[in-house]
Amino acid sequence: MSRIDVILPVKNGERFLKAALDSLARQTFQDFRLLACDDGSTDSTGEILSGESRFPVLVVRHETSLGVAASLNALLEKSEGCTYIARFDGDDLCHPERFARQTTFLEAHPEIGIVGTGLEIIDSEGRVCERTIYPLSDAEIRTELMFRDPLAHPALMIRAHLLRDPLNRYDPAFGVTEDYELWCRLSSRVRFANLPDPLLRYRRHGASVGVNRRTQQEAQISIIRRSYVRGLSLSETSRELLLGALGLAPFPASFDSRDGARVLAELDRLFAPNFHSMHYRIRRADIGLALLVNSRGWSKLRLLLADGFLLQTYLERIIENRCGPWRRFLARRRMGRVASRIRKRIFRGGGDCEPSLRVYGYLPSADSMVLGRELIWEHGVSLWFSSPEQSAGRLEIGDHVFLGFNTRLNVYADITIGRQVLIGANTYITSSNHCYHSREMPIQCQGFVGASVRIDDDVWVGCNVVVLPGVHIGRGAVIGAGSVVTQDVPSFEVWGGVPARKIKDRPA
């Protein structure tokens, strides 16, 4: 028996199915079997599946389409003897290390029952459009279940014993959100995790469920969120107030400030390991401010006094709105002193840096920056550092690195630049992206996600280039002017375009 059963439901998937199977064949971990359900296809999907011989395949066929949930349940009935079950879709692509990385993680963390990964979103032509990193820890994932599905279904690996129980199956009543409903149902008995690296390429195209059935999906998500909140270990009053704060039910006509403070205290108890996480604090602030907006008179003041963190959040918003210019003036002076110290370090290393260097965000600590010798930084170079609560990003720059004018580095996760690297003017290198998962709060209030950026030795990056989170540019690569780099660039290749793609190899 194989250690992994890969379950794949597909209907009329001939366009992308061969590429999906090729990505499975390239897995470095080969002890797996594919269980595929041909859900009433009218094209050559069945023939493609039957013709696969590079790894074991079992095909279940439905004469008429029964839907994703029923197809998945049919495949689970056929699964036996494996240790893990991996999900996969017929229009996506697996990273070669996906199965190896997930099995290694589950073996090292026996307390985790379900592990997902980050995603690279690709279009119908296979071009990377964006990268998505989901909440990583169990506590963060449980928090996020109140708002959305924080697990990428086709990128999951699950301990097989969890799904052998007939009660732990997909509910066909939730035809486009069957995964979200199942995770919420399992959440009281299972611990979750996500790996930060994008180990699956998720294809977004006109035939995708998420494109064609958005209205139905949103209605089902509201039902699932309400059910999840009602299942949390909260008092009845706290549960009703939380539903109101999340916009899932009307607020009670009136409530005592002590009830509002109790909601937040009970959430802290449920998600205690997560309290110092910026992700949880943003979500908690969203709930607390919703409670505050719906409070009246003295009740609002008592709620603020009863919860120190909510009071701090509320005062920060007032200061930002009313005292922002003065606070920004002091921050600019402080960052100016930091920029001056960085320039002195560059001069001491035999390099040169224009006085226009700017530093933004939070003060970098002494061990968050390593600068090589003989650096040349032109006019208008700027650095941004995230707060320690958000991320402990580190900037490391090797010897003989040239940064052209108006180059910007956003340090959220690590940014590493090797030796003898040339970076042209107006280039933007970032290890962070804004979160945009909630529609209930502004994007600018949802914090950041990110992944490390690495540029190896002897790389030339042209002018007006954007390098996005998670990218690794190999040694000796060349990036053409005006490019947007969304995926890894192998060594000694020339890439260009939006998004950047290979143009040619460098001469030997």
What amino acid is encoded at 209 in this protein? V
What pLDDT sits at residue 154?
93
Q: Which amino acid is at 450?
A: G
Residue 173 lies in a domain: yes
H or E element in which residue 336 lies: helix 324-348
Catalytic residue among 109, 161, 379, 434: 434
Question: Domain for residue 217, yes or no?
Answer: no
Query: Are 282 and 393 contained in the same domain?
Result: no
Does 240 share its domain with 261?
A: yes
Residue 224 domain-assigned?
A: no
Predicted pLDDT at 445: 65
Last residue of one domain, picked from the residues 206, 241, 276: 206
The whole-number pLDDT of residue 372 equals: 94
159 in any annotated domain: yes
> 3-state class of 478 per DSSP?
strand
What's the confidence (pLDDT) of residue 247?
84
Question: Do both 376 and 408 map to the same domain?
Answer: yes
pLDDT means over runs of 10, the chain (508 residues): 88 91 93 92 90 90 89 90 92 93 95 92 77 84 89 94 88 87 91 91 68 68 90 87 86 75 82 68 81 75 75 71 60 75 91 90 70 94 76 85 95 92 96 74 70 93 95 96 95 95 93
The total domain count for the chain is 3
Name the nearest CA neighbour of 241 among 291, 280, 289, 297: 291
Same domain, 126 and 46: yes
Is there a single domain that holds both residue 318 and residue 344?
A: no
Domain that holds residue 399: 331-505
Question: What would the two tokens of residue 76 be?
Answer: 């689970």
Query: What is the Cα–Cα distance from 236 to 15, expressed in whole angstroms?
Result: 51
Of 258, 175, 165, nearest in space to 210 by CA: 175
How would you classify the pairing of strands 128-132 and 114-122? antiparallel
The 3 state secondary structure assigned to 358-397 is EEEECCCCHHHEEECCCCEECCCCEEEECCCCCCCCCEEE
86 and 197 together in one domain = yes
CATH code assigned at 489: 2.160.10.10
Task: Give per-residue burial for 241-275: e unless 16+ CB within 10 Å, then b.
Answer: bbbbbbebbebeeebebebbbbbbebbeeebeebe
Q: Which helix (H) or strand (E) holds 316?
A: helix 308-322
Q: Are residues 406 and 479 in the same domain?
A: yes
Cα–Cα distances in angstroms (integers) from residue 183 to residues 239, 476, 507, in the given order: 20, 45, 51
CB 472 within 8 A of CB 488: yes
Query: Do 185 and 249 reside in the same domain of the chain?
Result: no
| pLDDT for residue 392 | 63
Indicate the angle between helix axes 236-245 and 214-231, nearest 10 degrees: 150
Q: Considering 301, 322, 343, which residue would you say is the last residue of a domain? A: 322
Q: Is residue 222 part of a domain?
A: no
User: In this structure, what token pair is assigned to residue 331?
Assistant: 């921050």
* Residue 213 within any structural domain of the chain: no
Annotated catalytic, 62?
A: no
pLDDT of residue 332: 65
Together in a domain, 271 and 341: no
Cis peptide bond prior to 110, omega within 30° of 0: no
Total H helices, total E strands in the chain? 15, 30
The verdict on residue 362 lying in a domain is: yes
Task: Tell me how long the chain is.
Answer: 508
> Residue 348: enclosing H or E segment and its boundaries?
helix 324-348
> Is 348 found in the same domain as 256?
no
Q: What is the DSSP string of 78-137?
A: H--S-SEEEE--TT-EE-TTHHHHHHHHHHH-TT--EEEEEEEEE-TT--EEEEE----S
Instruction: Give the per-residue pLDDT at 371.
Output: 93
Please tell me the predicted confidence (pLDDT) of residue 99: 95
Last residue of a domain, one of 154, 171, 206: 206
Helices (H), 157-253: 160-164, 178-186, 209-212, 214-231, 236-245
- Concatenated DSSP letters for 8-43? EEESS-HHHHHHHHHHHHT-S---EEEEEEEES-SS
| pLDDT attached to residue 211 | 46
Same domain for 80 and 100?
Answer: yes
Whichever domain contains 155, its CATH number is: 3.90.550.10
User: What's the confidence (pLDDT) of residue 324?
Assistant: 58
Tell me the CB-side half-sphere exposure of residue 485, using CA atoms within 13 A.
34
Look at residue 219 and tell me if it is in a domain: no
Same domain, 270 and 376: no
